[in-house]
Amino acid sequence: MAGWQVVAALESDAQACQTHAANFPEVKLHEKPERFSIRPGPMKQSLASIPSPLR
């Protein structure tokens, strides 16, 4: 994707997670159950180690 750098993904389907991990090994993948909620604190903390040009 021109101009975009995908650094993380959130997926609930196990087979989709396997496919995504195989196609994009550099992207941090979070596998969650079907019904999940995204809390910004833990997600931000888990992504803190990824370098960003915006920091």
Please check whether residue 17 lies inside any domain of the structure: yes
* Residue 21 confidence (pLDDT): 93
Q: Is residue 36 in a domain?
A: yes
pLDDT for 7 equals 81
17 lies in which domain range? 8-47
pLDDT recorded at residue 30: 83
In a domain, 24, yes or no: yes
Looking at the domain assignment, is residue 2 inside a domain? Answer: no
Please state the domain count of the chain: 1
pLDDT tens by residue, 3-55: 778 888 888 888 999 999 999 998 888 887 666 666 777 777 777 777 766 65
Phi, psi dihedral angles at 7 (to 5 degrees): -115, -15
Note whether residue 55 is domain-resident.
no
In a domain, 53, yes or no: no
Contact partners, residue 9, CB within 8 Å, separation at least 6? 20, 24, 27, 28, 29, 30
Domain for residue 52, yes or no?
no
